[in-house]
Copies of this chain bind each other. A is one copy, B any other.
Amino acid sequence: MSKSVPLPAEERLHGLVSVLDFVRTHGSSTRPKLARATGLSRAVVTQRVGELVDYGLLEEGELGPSTGGRAPRTVHFRADAGQLLVADLGATSVDVAVADLAGSILVHIQEPCDIASGPEIILAHIDELFQQCLASVEDQPGELWGIGIGLPGPVEFESGRPIAPPIMPGWDRYPVRERFADYEVPIWVDNDVNIMALGELRAGIARGWDNVIFVKIGTGIGAGIIVKGKLHRGAKGCAGDIGHIQVSEGDTGVVCRCGNIGCLEAVAGGAAMGRDAEALALEGRSEFLAALLEEKGSLEAADVARAATHGDAASVELITAAGRVVGLVLAGIVSFFNPSLTVIGGGVAGAGDLLLATIRESVYRRSLPLATRDLVLQRSTLGELVGVIGAAAMVTDELFAPNRLVHWLAAGAPSSDAHAIAAAD
């Protein structure tokens, strides 16, 4: 990569970012297409493309289709100019991957891990998996340009630290970013549901949508919010934490792991469904669940979904009750936020159609008519890779943001000043 190209400034940076963003998110383009998409003149587009080729971020491709005159040459984003390390930590498993700058996953490892083991053990494990991943792509081009990590709890995005995370004992305010300082690249840490929402936005069902809510129903419940095509993290980076919205009065007595009573996820999350299923089995209200409990020793949401598809009435009731509660909270959120698309993901949501149908019914019945008139409510279509794809999208979004691009573009790679780049606001 050329190091002699001068640092961009002022209005030129605006043009560079417009061109780069379009090619980067579309994979390739032509100069005439870029002029139409960015509003820049053809002459300016040609200049900016030339500069980005010099910076090593774009490359010339084959001739595109002619529309009468000379066929325009295509321009590609050089996704292989750098590599990203990404990790998506869940309550009970971790996904680690290497991605290229377009977010394509080059190598992926999934392993069980118990987030409650605390940050030293878990992050040492991630570090080992990072090394394994890097070793397996060492023959491929591109230096390491950044690291992205998702955690199953509230994260203060600015500092990259989890704050009072309910299911992560020992992690409160742990300096996750600093733990990987040896890699000498900028590092971003976010909540796992936020990165899943980004994954859906970049490569899944939310691609091209402006106002999106992604709801994860797994062991816990959380949401990721997209406003005008960008993740809304809120003032402290914890927007979307809907799992602890109160959904029942104090007298039902369901105490949440956060310490409050009647939280959404304590009533309708995956852990709650497993707990309630075990109670149904022990009370003799479901032969199907009782047989499963005897066989497995414990029950989880997937067992309830399985029982429901076999016609077990108690399980059907359990799922519809959970769907109604989630749907009621979502109805309020839809009235408040007025999204165009709501995506339901997470392990429990994937277990069957009944839950989604019940949620949908509640949302359409209880939201403002105008808010649901064109509302699309769909299940996530990305599989278990959604988290690592989203973590890669988070890193590229940050690296290619104008305020960060100016820090490293002329130097040739973001590793030039990792700390300043991650801290730039």
Contacts and interface: CB of A to CB of B under 8 A. Distances in A.
Interface of A: 9-15, 39-41, 44, 154, 156, 163-164, 210-211, 223, 225, 227-228, 232-242, 244-246, 260, 328-329, 331-333, 335-340, 366, 368-371, 373-375
Contacts of A10: 15, 39-41, 44
Given A235-B375, A245-B336, 13 more contacts: A9-B41, A10-B39, A11-B11, A164-B369, A210-B235, A211-B235, A225-B336, A235-B339, A237-B370, A238-B368, A238-B370, A239-B337, A242-B335
Contacts of A228: 227
A246 B210 contact: no
B246 A331 contact: yes
A237 B373 CA distance: 12
A198 to B, nearest CB: 17
A210 B236 CA distance: 12
Q: Is the interface of A mostly helix, strand, loop or mixed?
A: loop
B44 A246 contact: no
B338 A246 contact: no
A43 B249 CA distance: 63
A370 B11 contact: no
A244 B368 contact: yes
Q: Which of A11, A210, A373, A374 has the most CB of B within 10 A?
A: A11
Given A14-B14, A331-B245, A164 B370 contact: yes
A44 B10 CA distance: 8
A235 B41 contact: no
Contacts of A238: 335, 338, 368, 370-371
